[in-house]
Structure 1
C-alpha cells in the first residue's frame, strides 16, 4: 500500500532521516517545516515540502495525507508547547482530515516521568500526556519510545520491549527513523507502545515480535 505520509519535524535530526527514507521509498513523503528556507533541503531529500507550525494552523499540511510520522521536538525550549500541545494540535487535525495512521516518536521513561532525571521530567511529562491523548483519539496509532539518541551510524538491528529500562542503553537516530518508517506498514502494531534500543535483531523481525499474530 502506497501512503502519503506527513513528517512532522522533518528538519529535525530524526526527521531528516525519516524524510530521506520515505523520499527514497514507495511512499509519498510530505515534509512539514516551519521555515520557508528549509523547503529546498526537503525537496533534495525527495519530499514535497509544506510550511506549517505545530503551534498554529496545520490543517493545510494534513490535507491529502493518510499517514503521519510525528518526529518533532522542541529541543527543550518549549516542551509543553511543542512536544505536548503541538502533538495534540496535529492529532486533532489528523482526526478531522480522516488520517488513517499515526506513528508517534515518544521517549523511554514517559510512562513514569518522575523516575527519570530531574532535567527531563517536564519533557517526559509532555511526552506522556501527548501519548495518552493519541491513545484516546480515534487514530490507528503506534507509539515508539527510544532510549538515549546518538548520531552514530545505524546498524539496522534493535532491541524492543515494554520495560527495558531508562538507563539500559542508547540507539542511533538513523535506526529510530528506520523503525518509525517500518512501523507504518505493520498493521499489527496499531494500538501498541514499545521501547527501543540498539540490539541484535533486524528491525523488521523485531517489530514482528511485538504483537505476533
Structure 2
C-alpha cells in the first residue's frame, strides 16, 4: 500500500510524512532537489527525485496510491500556478490512470468550488484547483478530494468539521489536514468522495465517511 506523496517537502507534506512514518504506513516522498531530499534521508524516509515540470514517470514505480499536496506557493506568479497546481495535477492523474493506481487523493481548497468568490489575488489559484479537481473526477481514477479552508500553523487537535456551518469558521490547521490525510490513506474503502475540511469537534473517523 505504498503511497507516493507529491509535494512532500511542503508544510502539509512533511507533517503527513512524519505521521505516516510513525504509523508504519509505507510511502515515498517525491521532491525536486537533493537539498530537499536531505530532510527525508535524515529521518530514514524513502524519497525520490522527480519534478512536476519534468521527468515524473519513474516516481510511481512500486506505488499503488498517490497523494497530491503540491502547490506553487504564494511567492510565485500565475505561470507557476498553471504549471504546478493545474498541469502538474493533471499529469499525475494521467499517470495514476495509466499505471492503474487504486486511488488519487487530492488536496484542493475550500473556495475552489467558486473561484470568483475568493479574494482577488487567490482567484487564479482557485480556478486552477477547480479545473484540476474537475479533470480528476472525469479521468476515471478512483479519487478522494479534500478541500481545506484557510490554513494555519496551529497544533493538531485531532478534531475536524466538514462545513463552515458546523465549524463556525473557515480555518483549519495544517496539522489537522495531515492527520485527516493519514486517515484517508488508511481507509481504502473511501472512493469518489469530496470533503471540506475545517477545525471542528469530530475525529476524522467520525467526519469523513
TM-score after normalising by structure 2: 0.92
Asked if the contact 1:23–1:46 (Cα under 8 Å) also holds between the matched residues in 2, the reply is no
Stretch of structure 1 that moved more, 68-77 or 19-28 = 19-28
> How many residues align structurally?
204
Residue number among 81, 85, 88 corresponding to 1:79 in the alignment: 81
Q: Classify 1:194/1:12 alpha carbon distance in 2 versus 1 (closer, same or farther; 3 Å).
A: same
Query: Where does structure 2 lack aligned partners over 5 or more consecutive residues?
Result: none
SS in 1 for 2:3: strand
1:114 equivalent in structure 2 = 116
- Deviation per CA, 1:190-213: give whole Å up to 9, x if none: 1111111000111211113xxxxx
CA RMSD of aligned residues (A): 1.7
1:42 equivalent in structure 2 = 40
Query: Where does structure 1 lack aligned partners over 5 or more consecutive residues?
Result: 209-213
SS in 1 for 2:113: coil
- Deviation per CA, 1:154-198: give whole Å up to 9, x if none: 10000014x759x93211101101111211233443111111100
Alignment of 1:89-100 (within 5 A): 89-100=91-102
TM-superposed CA distance for 1:120, in Å, is 0.7
TM-score after normalising by structure 1: 0.90
Stretch of structure 1 that moved more, 51-60 or 22-31 = 22-31
CA distance in 1, matches of 2:192, 2:165: 19
Q: Classify 1:113/1:62 alpha carbon distance in 2 versus 1 (closer, same or farther; 3 Å).
A: same
2:181 equivalent in structure 1 = 180
Alignment of 1:161-172 (within 5 A): 161=163, 168-172=169-173
CA distance in 2, matches of 1:58, 1:91: 12
